[in-house]
Structure 1
Amino acid sequence: MNQRRTVRSRLERLAREIAKFGAVGAMGFVVNLIVFNICVHGFQLAVVRSGVIATAVAIATNYVGNRYWTYRECDRSRRSRELSLFLLFSGAGLVIENGILALSHYGLGMTSSLADNIAKNVVGLGIGTVFRFWSYRTWVFRALPAREAVETAESFLATAPERAGASERA
């Protein structure tokens, strides 16, 4: 019975994580789609260049959402390492996403606006998203080790009366 609760608890946590990651990703998707189409149709840039620009803007949007919402309770002590790994794995996702666009546009000759959007924003982004989710949760936004998490919580609870008094004086 206890093991069943543990599995269920882990699955519920994973479902919440996927939902938050998906919500942040949806915002990144909208940013990506808009920037891509503005670059291609507004500025007449090449499709892969437009794709790289759009993905880079979406990566910045997604970092903020994932750091401060999806993975806000994860270890923050090594922020430069986290950001470096985030950019590394996001860059790999960028290559996946825009590699599929390049293959479709230049390799297969599918050059319509619809084909470019499907290749980049459906197929490429879908595969890139699965890769990013796995890499972010495995390597980038690591949970605090159990001992550190307990110490952090105890420290927070121990200083709660001080913080409450400070907020009352403000």
Structure 2
Amino acid sequence: MVRHRLLRRELLGFAAAGLLAYAVDLALFLYLRGPAGLGPLTAKALSFVAGCTVAYAGNAHGTYRDTRVRGPRPYAMFFAVNLAGAAVQLLCLAVSHYGLGLTSQRADIVSGAVVGMALATGVRFWGTRTLVFRDAGRVRSWTG
């Protein structure tokens, strides 16, 4: 029962940090594309970095505040984990759109923002808990 509570607390904290990071990413992207007048790739790159920073702070000071950070450059590892998640989302979109020929706007949203986001969140959760944050030098365990 304690393991389930630990897992639930970890998942809720991770989700809260991720939702806040997503909101920052989206709001900054919209501002940079609109009033700031930046191009789409520059705007997205900057908003992605801002979102990663918010997610790292939320996880470091919230979800994983009682755990050790692995290595001398935890933010760099966290950023790499988030890049891997972004790559998963792009891969889902590419496979659906170009590989399967599902080219409608709805198909792109489902593959990139639903399926891709779900898989990317799994990658980010696993990478954050096993590669970035550790408990007493070991991977946090709620399974046994």
- TM-score, normalised to structure 2, is 0.71
Structure 2 CA distance, aligned partners of 1:54 and 1:118?
Answer: 22
Q: CA deviation at 1:75?
A: 1.2
Q: CA, structure 1 residues 44+81, in 2 after alignment: closer, same or farther (shift >3 Å)?
A: closer
- Match runs of 1:25-36 below 5 Å: 25-36=18-29
Q: Kindly indicate whether the alpha-carbon contact (under 8 Å) linking 1:52 and 1:98 is maintained by their aligned counterparts in 2.
A: no
Structure 2 CA distance, aligned partners of 1:10 and 1:53?
Answer: 38
- SS in structure 1 of the partner of residue 14 of structure 2: helix
Q: How many residues align?
A: 134
Alignment equivalent of 1:37, drawn from 21, 30, 38: 30
Residue number in structure 1 paired with 2:141: none
Q: CA deviation at 1:50?
A: 4.0
Residue number in structure 1 paired with 2:46: 53
Q: Which runs of 5+ in 2 are unaligned?
A: 139-144
Structure 1 CA distance, aligned partners of 2:119 and 2:29?
Answer: 18
Structure 2 CA distance, aligned partners of 1:69 and 1:25?
Answer: 12
Q: Which runs of 5+ in 1 are unaligned?
A: 1-7, 147-170
Q: Kindly indicate whether the alpha-carbon contact (under 8 Å) linking 1:21 and 1:133 is maintained by their aligned counterparts in 2.
A: yes
Q: CA, structure 1 residues 33+117, in 2 after alignment: closer, same or farther (shift >3 Å)?
A: farther
- Match runs of 1:134-149 below 5 Å: 134-145=126-137
Confirm whether residue 19 of structure 1 aligns to residue 15 of structure 2. no
Letter in 2 for 1:24: A
Q: CA, structure 1 residues 125+51, in 2 after alignment: closer, same or farther (shift >3 Å)?
A: farther
> How many percent identity over aligned positions?
28
- SS in structure 2 of the partner of residue 144 of structure 1: coil
Letter in 2 for 1:67: A
Structure with greater contact order relative to length (CA < 8 Å, sep ≥ 6): 2
- Match runs of 1:91-130 below 5 Å: 91-100=83-92, 103=94, 107=98, 121-130=113-122
* Bigger shift: residues 63-72 or 51-60: 51-60
- SS in structure 2 of the partner of residue 80 of structure 1: coil
Aligned Cα RMSD in Å?
Answer: 3.2
Q: Which has the higher helix share?
A: 1
Once the two structures are superposed, residues 24-55 of structure 1 have per-residue CA deviations (whole angstroms, 9 ceiling, x without a partner) of 11101111221233344443623x55443322
Confirm whether residue 86 of structure 1 aligns to residue 53 of structure 2. no
- TM-score, normalised to structure 1, is 0.62
Structure showing greater radius of gyration is 1
Q: CA deviation at 1:14?
A: 0.4
Confirm whether residue 72 of structure 1 aligns to residue 50 of structure 2. no
Structure 2 CA distance, aligned partners of 1:39 and 1:109?
Answer: 28
